[in-house]
Structure formats: structure tokens, C-alpha cells
Amino acid sequence: MLSVVVPVYNEADSLEALFGELSDVAAAEGYDLDLIFVDDGSTDGSWEAIARLAASDPRVGGIRFRRNFGKAAALSAGFEQARGELVMTLDADLQDDPREIPRFLAEMKKELDVVSGWKKVRRDPWHKVWPSRVFNWLVSRLTGVRLHDHNCGMKCYRREVFDEIRLYGELHRFIPVLAAARGFRVGEIVVNHRPRKFGRSKYGVSRIVKGLLDLFTVKFLTGFGQRPQHLLGTIGLCSFVVGALWLLYFAVVWVVSRVDAFGMDPVHLKQRPALLYSVGLLLLGGQLMSIGFLAELFIAYQAPSNRGYSIRERTPPGK
């Protein structure tokens, strides 16, 4: 059985055509289809279209949110209901080609846990393509997960990936990064990207800002999620040491300038703006290290939402 999770937001015109294409691919390849549409607060009749499809075919299931909660929430809800060992995701606007699904399944046989699509030739306007390329380059450089298209909605996962990854906010575009941080194997294939026929793009300037902020969050979670003091404490210690050294320097200069044997003019610290920066660095360093200690205490004494390790398989129990 193959589960397919499709987030939907105002895509009423494309749902029937998408279901038809998915049904044709499933029939041609000979696998059972478990299709879950997740209506993320649509206002255009998408839920009515999903309800009709679900009533006409038992392979179709629908989930309807009370309002728009975002794509990550929609995917999470779909993953919880999915029954297959492999889970495909694709967008509902028909730009993702369901005929690519067999290629994803073939790639998964190479002992991969996540296969991401790469829209090498994109059918989108330039003002959407170029920022996306810059973003994908940044994600690959900062996380070490070398994918050409982290934003591609067409991906295939093994079910156990979602037993260890919790999605919230807008972290859906970073699932391969989060999976790789847990030790899952990630791959990529080039997919066909079709021109948009229905609906409109959800792309906007705010998406760039949110994406960058989420990137920093993911970098922190994957790199220092279990050891926050390594980051906060390092920055705090450097700041504290620099501030302390400058204050020590000013203290020595102030004392020496007031010893008659050296013949120096008295130094008035209130005329040295650098003194304020030194105090600021000292306080900032102390605060960052304190926050780091609190974060370490929280991790140590609170039950984590997931384990700090990932088990691939176990040996059979001894007899």
C-alpha cells in the first residue's frame, strides 16, 4: 500500500483531475492507493470536492481543519492517518506530476529513507525561482544536506521517519534536513514540473523572511538541540572574556594614572565610551551562559519529546 498525503488550500478546481491521475498511476503500477486530502481551511469549496471523492471511492480520505494552520500542520495530520509503509506527498495544484511516483518508489529501493524531488526545470515566474535557488543553496551550505530543491512538495518517506520527527510552524520544507540529523538516508531525483493551471501561488515576500528564520531554527535544533550550552555558552564565554579583559585594562590604566611615580595625567573613565561597551559585553556574556545552563537543565530533567538517538534495527532476542 502506498499512502499519498495532499495538503489542500483553495484547490477545488484541480482535485478531481489529481485524483484521476493518481488512480491511473496506481492501477498501472499495481499498488493499493491510500489517498488523504487535508483541507487547510479552504474557502473555495475544496472540502465539498474532497467529500464527493471520498463518498465515491473508499481509497480517499479527507481531513478538514477549522481554519488555516499551515502546510506543516496539514502534513502532520495526513501522516497520522496514513496507513502505508511508504508515504508520498505532493501539492494539489497539478504542478507535481503523479507519473513520477514509480520513479520515487524505485529510488526508495536503494535503501533510502527520504527521496526529495528536484524541479530542475521550473514552470514558475523568475521572482519565485531565483529567491528559491538562493534559499536552497543556503540550506545546503548551513545544514550539510545537499539537495537542489528543499522546497519541492513532491517527496517520498518511510513511515518510521515521522515516528521521530515532529513538525510545527513551517518546518515542512526542512523534513529531509531533520531526517538526516536523525540518521535517515536522504536522496534526490529530478522530477517533471508542470505549468500552473488552477489556483494561485502562495509565494510572497513574507515567505522569504519566515524561511530564513526557520532555517536558523533548524540549524540550532539539528546542531545544538541536545547541547544548547555549546552554542550559547561559547558565544557568552567569548563575550564575557572580552568584556572582562577590557574592564581589567581600564582598571589598571585608572590606577596607574593616579600613581605620582609614573607622572601620568589622571584618566577619567567617564570620558571613555569603550567602558560602557565592556560592561555590556560582560553582562551579555553572563546572560548567555546563564540561559545555556537553564537550557541544559531543562533538557536534563524534563522528558524529551523524542529520544536523543535513532535505532535502525535490532537483533532478534536471545533464546
Q: What is the pLDDT of residue 124?
A: 78
Pick the CATH number of 2-224 from 3.90.320.10, 3.30.420.40, 1.10.150.530, 3.90.550.10: 3.90.550.10
In sequence order, the 6+-apart residues with CB closer than 8 A to the CB of 41 are 9, 65, 66, 67, 68, 69
Query: Tens-of-pLDDT digits for all 319 residues of the chain?
Result: 899 999 999 999 999 999 999 999 999 999 899 999 999 999 988 999 999 999 999 999 999 999 988 888 899 999 999 999 999 999 999 999 999 999 999 999 999 999 999 998 887 777 778 888 888 899 999 889 999 999 899 999 999 998 888 887 778 889 999 999 989 999 999 999 988 876 666 555 567 777 788 888 888 888 887 788 888 889 999 999 999 999 998 888 888 877 766 666 777 777 788 888 999 999 999 999 999 888 888 866 765 555 555 555 553 664 4
In sequence order, the 6+-apart residues with CB closer than 8 A to the CB of 120 are 148, 149, 190, 191
CA separation for the pair 42, 64 (Å, rounded): 9
Please measure the distance between the N-terminal and C-terminal CA atoms of the chain and give it in whole angstroms: 34
CA separation for the pair 193, 196 (Å, rounded): 9
Domain ranges of the chain: 2-224, 228-301
Instruction: Enter the pTM of the model.
Output: 0.77
